[in-house]
């Protein structure tokens, strides 16, 4: 591969081309995005969406970026085509009211066709086909004028291909794609639907329309023209890379194929030898890279939302390696290869490698355990299917294995074939479709949740940003700029009414960075407003939600804004306490224990961090000790403003998923290098002012994520005082000293357990004492001695013991069957047992169990001699016994 065609060089050439044309280079935003419509950044324009929606004023007129993106709707098609991948890099140039169609076309065409020696990509013009929206004659003329491309080389396409919108009311417009003709081997001449032949490498969106009543991608109303015409483009780096590198698809480029090469070495199979294996190799290459990038940006595996996507990617990669014949731990072999290829563009992968590896490798270990557990579930399902005389595993069983146990469907198909069974794939797909439809309906219900910020935007444009003084003072004399109720301006608020107030200056902290907003009041001539909440709906504007406590508030005059000093003190203690606990956590567990989220209010803090196991008692104690030693040391707390790059060089920690201003960030440090974090919150001046840090819990909040909760300041002391009172009460009741309390309680617990065991032993003996009477009273049903009994208060273990004991007392030379149903805490449990003579006569414990369990809302399984199950409806136990009798009678 020529060095001028590497992915790193393509990325560099793209940025340099547009920087030379006056564009500001903007670093890639994290993959996590705060958007109700998106799990991840899925296009290069997403970080600029507030500018396109008019929610914020862009600080530049032209921008260029190479944005990390993840798309997962087509995950099942990954590896099957040259186009579908989950992680990709989108190179984009953007104009905010500056150049428009002509400028975008000229800049794109110049870069693509310019010789490599001159900084371009050097693609042959004869292979390039522009496409336009069929109702955009202006674009046609511009393409011909600027590029010299003849009319018959310009494809006219409809709305579904060449009209862009976000799927919600807002900006939209026609677009032009640049298609690369890969030749007749990939499809028919002029068939622009043949995407493998006419490969889209760049899309130029001409944002010119204001859309309303958006019903679908191709069904919407155009309310009018946008006030400013904008440009949003996206060039797929991977697609350009495989063209320039002479490869057949994106999986064979320099940042991905080395993973396939390593997978070949591990599996002993060869890429290109088998089309089925080729798909698996590509899945591995794609999913390893995508997973690594997601973990790098703070995602941890879980069962919902982003965590579920990551878990699925990791498990599909591991599963694909298994299908290639490699059953050892695969990710420790593959992840480093992907890291080494991606790190030149994303050096944080190397810096944060220990944490990334820990998360990924732990998930593979968990999945390997899941495979073992799922195999047992499958084996039971297969036995049950065969016992019923069927050869098809039910679709609902395959779906349960997939949905509940994370068992891949292809593994279920493979194991079913090994057992001489097939799978009801149609039923499985139907259930999967239902699940997807529910997810789509939920996502659709969230569409349109971009808040209408135009009223706030207007206030900001008219008055400028709020003078925000939360770091300097607790009180300000302020002037009201706007009063809103229900999202619209109002002249006044009556007593008890709630509205939104914008001031020219404010001392109130607006909720952000995990810290809740300040509480307090605003005093006006003739009354008082209670401040309920403080937010920043658009950047630079602080909005107070207020309730009128006294008087009638008419906007105007001079106001006194007053933060509750006790509230602010508690908030400062909690936020600084969060930083202390985070630093202590890394000291106790190591540098890979990084915060993934936080929340703090006066006296309370909550810190989430990526970790795969719970803290030991010793680690828990050490964490609290290290935290309080930091308070005792009275460490200085300070903050500085610097660029994001300087903050990183300084060792400051950024919160995953947060977006930071690259020109200026605030770094808060406690004890110098001991704790340095990017943070906009309010803090104490010395660590001793936190008072105390009392850990109250450590728990799991999903696979690979833990949560620490703690109290600070007065609330921490109050908590300890309550515990002291409890200890005093217990020592009084037990007539012992505090130092002996644990031993005394331990002795009482052991004595209680011993008594409970004796009671249990006596209860079981009493239960079994009736086994002989039950056996002797067996009823004859079709020549089979049958015992059916309901036992109140018996659990599963007792039921099994009684059923086996009764079966042992039945005459051995006569067919016999036993069904015992226990009911404990309203839940039935069942055991059927059949003797050898009964089995010889064709009686099956499994068959009897299914007949009874189906009436109790449950199921179960086992063998012909013993089967066990449970249910959810204990009201029909009599009917269940009758169903077993009927099954015997039909034999």
Output DSSP code: residue 77. Answer: G
- What whole-number distance in Å separates Cα of residue 745 and Cα of residue 750? 9
Q: Is 579 annotated as a binding residue?
A: yes
Phi, psi (degrees; rounded to nearest 5) at 419: -95, 10
Tokens at residue 241, please?
A: 């890379």
User: For residue 106, what are the contacts with CB-CB under 8 A and spacing of at least 6?
Assistant: 146
- What whole-number distance in Å separates Cα of residue 387 and Cα of residue 383? 6
**Strand 637-642's sheet: what is its strand order?**
637-642, 665-670, 675-678
Q: Is 287 annotated as a binding residue?
A: no
- What whole-number distance in Å separates Cα of residue 583 and Cα of residue 651? 13
- What whole-number distance in Å separates Cα of residue 505 and Cα of residue 548? 20
Question: Cα(first)–Cα(last) distance of the chain, in Å?
Answer: 74
From the list 568, 611, 774, 841, the residue with the least C-alpha distance to 708 is 611
- What whole-number distance in Å separates Cα of residue 891 and Cα of residue 883? 13
Cα 537 from chain centroid? 24
Radius of gyration of the chain (CA): 34
Q: Residue 449, SS3?
A: coil
Tell me the CA distances in angstroms from 436 to 10, 16, 318, 444, one per residue in order.
Answer: 37, 42, 23, 12
- What whole-number distance in Å separates Cα of residue 251 and Cα of residue 798? 58
- What whole-number distance in Å separates Cα of residue 505 and Cα of residue 559? 10
- What whole-number distance in Å separates Cα of residue 230 and Cα of residue 221? 19
- What whole-number distance in Å separates Cα of residue 678 and Cα of residue 657? 13
- What whole-number distance in Å separates Cα of residue 367 and Cα of residue 375? 12
Phi, psi (degrees; rounded to nearest 5) at 405: -105, 0
Tell me the CA distances in angstroms from 827 to 787, 872, 875, one per residue in order.
Answer: 21, 6, 10
Sign of the alpha-carbon dihedral angle for 350, 335, 6, 119: negative
From the list 406, 438, 410, 435, the residue with the least C-alpha distance to 307 is 406
Tokens 């009736």 correspond to 770
- What whole-number distance in Å separates Cα of residue 685 and Cα of residue 635? 9
- What whole-number distance in Å separates Cα of residue 106 and Cα of residue 233? 13
- What whole-number distance in Å separates Cα of residue 389 and Cα of residue 383? 10
- Using a 10 angstrom Cβ sphere, with 0-12 exposed, 13-18 middle and 19 or more buried, the burial of residue 764 is middle
Q: Is 575 annotated as a binding residue?
A: yes
* Alpha-carbon torsion, ordered 359, 364, 368, 374, to 10 deg: 80
Tell me the CA distances in angstroms from 821 to 54, 584, 801, 860, 890, one per residue in order.
Answer: 67, 54, 12, 13, 21
Kind plus residue range of the DSSP H or E element containing 332:
helix 331-342
From the list 413, 4, 17, the residue with the least C-alpha distance to 235 is 17
From the list 251, 345, 328, 242, the residue with the least C-alpha distance to 293 is 345
Sign of the alpha-carbon dihedral angle for 851, 853, 854, 855: positive
Kind plus residue range of the DSSP H or E element containing 397:
helix 395-405
From the list 370, 415, 373, 363, the residue with the least C-alpha distance to 393 is 415
The annotation places the binding site at 575, 579, 679, 683
The annotation places the binding site for Zn(2+) at 575, 579, 679, 683
């Amino acid at each position: 591969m020529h060095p001028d065609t590497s992915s790193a060089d393509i990325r560099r050439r793209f940025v340099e081309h547009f920087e030379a044309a006056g564009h500001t280079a903007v670093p890639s935003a994290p993959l996590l995005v705060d958007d109700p419509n998106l799990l991840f950044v899925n296009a290069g324009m997403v970080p600029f969406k507030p500018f396109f929606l008019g929610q914020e004023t862009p600080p530049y007129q032209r921008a260029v970026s190479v944005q990390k993106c993840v798309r997962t709707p087509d995950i099942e098609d990954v590896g099957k085509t040259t186009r579908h991948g989950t992680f990709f890099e989108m190179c984009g140039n953007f104009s905010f009211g500056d150049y428009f169609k002509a400028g975008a076309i000229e800049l794109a065409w110049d870069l693509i066709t310019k010789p490599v020696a001159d900084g371009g990509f050097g693609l042959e013009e004869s292979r390039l086909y522009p496409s336009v929206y069929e109702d955009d004659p202006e674009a046609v003329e511009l393409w011909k004028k600027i590029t010299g491309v003849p009319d018959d080389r310009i494809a006219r396409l409809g709305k579904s291909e060449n009209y862009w919108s976000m799927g919600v009311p807002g900006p939209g417009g026609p677009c032009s794609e640049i298609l690369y003709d890969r030749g007749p081997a990939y499809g028919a001449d002029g068939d622009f639907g043949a995407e493998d032949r006419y490969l889209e490498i760049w899309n130029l969106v001409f944002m010119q329309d204001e859309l309303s009543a958006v019903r679908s991608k191709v069904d919407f109303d155009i309310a009018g023209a946008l006030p400013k015409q904008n440009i949003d483009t996206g060039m797929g780096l991977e697609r350009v890379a495989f063209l320039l590198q002479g490869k057949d698809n994106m999986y064979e480029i320099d940042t991905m194929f080395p993973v396939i090469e390593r997978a070949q070495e591990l599996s002993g199979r060869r890429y290109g030898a088998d089309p089925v294996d080729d798909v698996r190799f590509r899945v591995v290459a794609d999913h390893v890279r995508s997973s690594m990038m997601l973990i790098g940006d703070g995602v941890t595996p879980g069962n919902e939302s982003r965590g579920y996507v990551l878990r699925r990617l990791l498990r599909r990669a591991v599963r694909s390696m298994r299908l290639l014949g490699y059953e050892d731990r695969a990710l420790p072999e593959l992840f480093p290869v992907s890291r080494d290829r991606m790190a030149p563009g994303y050096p944080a992968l190397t810096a944060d490698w220990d944490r990334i590896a820990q998360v990924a490798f732990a998930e593979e270990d968990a999945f390997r355990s899941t495979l073992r557990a799922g195999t047992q579930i499958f084996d039971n399902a297969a036995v049950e299917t065969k016992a019923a005389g069927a050869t098809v595993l039910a679709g609902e069983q395959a779906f349960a294995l997939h949905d509940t146990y994370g068992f891949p469907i292809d593994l279920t198909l493979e194991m079913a074939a090994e057992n001489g069974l097939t799978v009801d794939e149609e039923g499985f797909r139907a259930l999967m479709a239902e699940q997807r439809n529910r997810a789509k309906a939920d996502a659709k219900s969230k569409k349109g949740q971009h808040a209408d910020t135009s009223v706030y935007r207007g206030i900001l444009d008219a008055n400028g940003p709020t003078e925000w003084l939360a770091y300097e003072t607790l009180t300000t004399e302020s002037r009201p700029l706007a009063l809103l109720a229900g999202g619209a301006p109002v002249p006044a608020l009556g007593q008890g009414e709630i509205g939104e107030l914008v001031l020219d200056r404010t001392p109130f902290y607006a909720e952000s960075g995990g810290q809740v907003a300040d509480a307090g009041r605003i005093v006006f001539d003739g009354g008082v407003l209670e401040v309920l909440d403080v937010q920043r709906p658009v950047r630079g504007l602080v909005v107070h939600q207020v309730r009128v406590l006294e008087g009638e508030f008419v906007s105007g005059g001079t106001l006194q804004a007053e933060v509750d000093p006790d509230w602010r003190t508690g908030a400062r203690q909690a936020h600084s306490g969060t930083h202390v606990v985070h630093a202590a956590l890394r000291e106790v567990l190591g540098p890979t224990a990084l915060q993934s989220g936080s929340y703090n209010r006066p006296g309370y803090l909550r810190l989430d961090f990526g970790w795969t196991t719970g803290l030991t008692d010793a680690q828990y104690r050490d964490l609290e000790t290290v935290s309080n030693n930091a308070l005792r040391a009275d460490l200085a707390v300070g903050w500085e403003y610097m660029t994001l790059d300087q903050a990183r060089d300084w060792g400051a920690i950024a919160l995953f998923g947060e977006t930071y201003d690259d020109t200026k960030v605030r770094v808060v440090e406690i004890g110098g290098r001991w704790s340095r974090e990017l943070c906009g919150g309010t803090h104490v001046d010395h660590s001793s002012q936190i008072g105390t840090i009392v850990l109250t819990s450590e728990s799991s909040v999903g696979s690979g994520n833990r949560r620490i909760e703690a109290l600070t300041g007065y609330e921490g002391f109050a908590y300890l005082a309550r515990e002291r009172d409890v200890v005093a009460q217990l020592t009084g009741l037990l007539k012992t000293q505090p130092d002996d309390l644990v031993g005394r309680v331990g002795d009482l617990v052991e004595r209680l357990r011993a008594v409970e065991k004796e009671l249990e032993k006596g209860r079981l003996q009493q239960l079994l004492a009736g086994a002989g009477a039950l056996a002797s009273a067996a009823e004859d049903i079709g020549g089979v001695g049958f015992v059916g009994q309901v036992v109140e208060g018996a659990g599963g273990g007792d039921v099994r013991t009684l059923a086996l004991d009764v079966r042992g007392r039945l005459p051995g030379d006569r067919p016999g069957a036993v069904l015992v149903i226990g009911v404990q805490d309203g839940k039935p449990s069942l055991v059927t047992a059949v003797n050898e003579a009964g089995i010889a006569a064709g009686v099956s414990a499994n068959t009897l169990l299914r007949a009874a369990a189906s009436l109790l809302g449950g199921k179960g399984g086992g063998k012909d001699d013993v089967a066990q199950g449970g249910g959810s409806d204990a009201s029909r136990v009599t009917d269940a016994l009758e169903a077993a009798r009927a099954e015997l009678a039909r034999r």
